Structure 1
Amino acid sequence: MVDRPRVLLVEDDARLVAMLDQLLTTEGYDTVIARDGQRALHEGLTQRFDVILLDRGLPVLEGLDVLTRLRGKGVLTPALVLSALGNPADRVEGLDRGAEDYLAKPFDIDELLARIRALLRRNSSIVPVIAVPGGSLDTGSRTVTMAGGEVLGLSEREAQLLERLARRPQQVFERADLLANVFPDADDLGVVDTYVHYLRKKLGRGAVLTVRGIGYRLGTLS
């Protein structure tokens, strides 16, 4: 099963949210909706997304403040700002504060979808470095650089398993989910347990935590 691109939709206008949610779902995206800035910040920090669609005039926390805080925490998800504030100075401010693109309201649906596709293409060429317990995972070289400078090599499946856990560090993953998405050619849940053992052997027992009766989650980040 191939994961659908995930979009964090941050907008407080109920009618626009409903329209965009239906449009994105029809176009093959999975959406998570945040109607205020605080919720958007929480979702952006605890889940993995491929694109963020971000309004500026949000309750609780202004949209560009949300983006600044996400960037400050190392979240590099491409962001497209959708805002009624569309003069050149507003666009410049949005881009300077971390947005990859900026589209003024009202906007053309086809143009919006094209811009989302462009961000996805651009992001797919980036080799991300993801925080993991005690260091960082380079998904391109499949290596973990520990805080002390030691570099550890991982097998392809070890790296894929660690990446899936690390992209959603607060989520508890069922073993069946990990089997389907990391080991699609296997049908034995024990394969997941085996590779968790391999990761713990290389990174330490605290790298992957067991949640009894459910599965696994990423360990505590150092």
Structure 2
Amino acid sequence: MLPVNATSPRVLLIEDESRLADLLAKLLAEEGYDVEIAGDGQRGLHLGLTRAYDVLVLDRGLPVLDGLDLLTRLRLKGVTTPTLVLSALGNPADRVAGLDAGAEDYLAKPFDIDELLARLRSLRRRHLDTARTLPLPGGRLDLDTRLVQTGAYPPVRLSERECALLALLAARPSQVFPRTSLLRLVFDDADSNAVVDTYVHYLRRKLGKHVIDTVRGRGYQLGTPA
């Protein structure tokens, strides 16, 4: 997924070996990444479903929930964040299983840190190259120009915040985002959920009420075609 409101690329590191996780987090932070660690599969699944990341680094042998099962569940929920599996299971059959589960890359332990960093850079480049437009109900959002093309109508230009909010919803169309999550991910300099409602109103006014659905008691979700 594309970074929404951050200057550093965000990494979710799902690794139960605490010493390795801490070492990787330190190395990634030195490379400019904003790293969050999950120590088991259930925590990793929760974070992967509720927060926005640029890339996932995932161990296979996790407690509570196996790494490949976790990845399969993320993909079934529409989470397309590029993922690198980092595992001691490194024979060809293991690599095939990881790629078939939805991983974009697979690196066996022990590994060279420079190779890991290079693979992460490559993952992000490939993902950005293919994710510069996002489908919307009745149109598409171009992230470079912040224009929404809606069929025969002239394109609609969005503000930076409008684009960030809509891009987050469009990147995970099956997910319902609580207002608190949207506030943290898109409007981190604001302190009231009311700003989220205001920008939802702006987007509906520009693009139609159908573009964002309100899920009562839960938050907002990308709408469905009218």
Which TM-score band applies after superposition, normalised by the shorter structure?
0.7 to 0.9
1:138 is aligned, of 131, 136, 141, to 141
Q: Which has the higher contact order (CA 8 A, sep 6+)?
A: 2
Residue aligned with 2:80, SS: coil
Residue aligned with 1:82, SS: strand
CA contact (8 A) 2:40 2:65 kept: yes
Map 1:6-155; keep pairs closer than 5 Å: 6-127=10-131, 138-140=141-143, 142-143=147-148, 153-155=155-157
Distance 1:219 1:106, change over 3 A: same
* Unmatched 5+ stretches in structure 1: 181-190, 210-216
Amino acid at match of 1:111: E
Residue aligned with 1:125, SS: helix
CA RMSD of aligned residues (A): 3.6
Distance 1:197 1:53, change over 3 A: same
CA contact (8 A) 2:165 2:182 kept: no
Residue aligned with 2:131, SS: coil
In the alignment, is residue 219 of structure 1 matched against residue 220 of structure 2?
A: yes
Distance 1:95 1:194, change over 3 A: closer
Instruction: Report deviation, 1:119.
Output: 0.5
CA–CA separation in structure 2 for the residues paired with 1:59 and 1:76: 23
Distance 1:79 1:205, change over 3 A: closer
Distance 1:137 1:3, change over 3 A: farther
Amino acid at match of 1:65: D
Instruction: Report deviation, 1:36.
Output: 0.9
Instruction: Report deviation, 1:127.
Output: 2.2
CA–CA separation in structure 2 for the residues paired with 1:5 and 1:100: 17
In the alignment, is residue 177 of structure 1 matched against residue 179 of structure 2?
A: no
Amino acid at match of 1:138: L
CA–CA separation in structure 2 for the residues paired with 1:176 and 1:54: 25
CA–CA separation in structure 2 for the residues paired with 1:174 and 1:94: 32
Q: How many correspondences in the alignment?
A: 202
Residue aligned with 2:60, SS: coil
CA contact (8 A) 2:149 2:156 kept: yes
Q: Deviation string for 1:165-200 (max 9, x for gaps)?
A: 6668340416993679xxxxxxxxxx9987544213
Runs of 4+ displaced beyond 6 Å: 149-152, 191-194
* Unmatched 5+ stretches in structure 2: none
TM-score by length of 2: 0.73
TM-score by length of 1: 0.74
Larger CA deviation: 13-22 vs 200-209: 200-209
